[in-house]
Amino acid sequence: MSYAYLVLAFLLNAAGTILVKVHALRGFQLKGSLFSLIGGNIFFLAALACFGLNLVAYSLALNKLPLSVSYPVMTVASFILVNGFSYYYFHEQISVPQVAGYAFILVGLFLVVYFAKNLNA
């Protein structure tokens, strides 16, 4: 179950980051009634909710998983999801050297996870 919480944590982290970008593109709404403030800043509020739920899911994952493995998994998985989303939906450019960098990061993550499991064997 800890791995499920970790997956949920990185999905929520990525979603929160993407929602912050969507909100940044729209800008803060700081005038109007309470309802218009909520409606005008809904992406920001949704990002806050995602980050809060991320904290809960990540804490639950850390009950059983080592921090030295779970943190790299969460951050790299979030990083890859956010960058993929940025490319496809925000049409941000990603160069070949950046893709090579992503590959190195994934290889590094594999090494972290693989050798951490071998330490416990």
The tally of domains found in the chain comes to: 1
Q: How far is CA 44 from CA 11, 16, 74, 90, in A?
A: 17, 9, 22, 17
Helix (H) or strand (E) segment spanning residue 22: helix 2-26
The predicted-structure confidence for 33-44, as pLDDT tens digits, reads as follows 767 777 778 999
Q: State which amino acid sits at residue 56.
A: V
Mean pLDDT score, 23-48 = 83
Q: Are the beta carbons of 50 and 19 closer than 8 angstroms?
A: yes
- Give the domain range for residue 14: 2-119
- Higher model confidence: residue 31 or residue 25? 25
For residue range 91-121, list pLDDT tens digits in order: 999 999 999 999 999 999 999 998 887 655 4
Which of 79, 70, 80 is CA-nearest to residue 4? 70
Q: Which amino acid is at 18?
A: I
pTM: 0.85
Residue 78: predicted pLDDT: 95
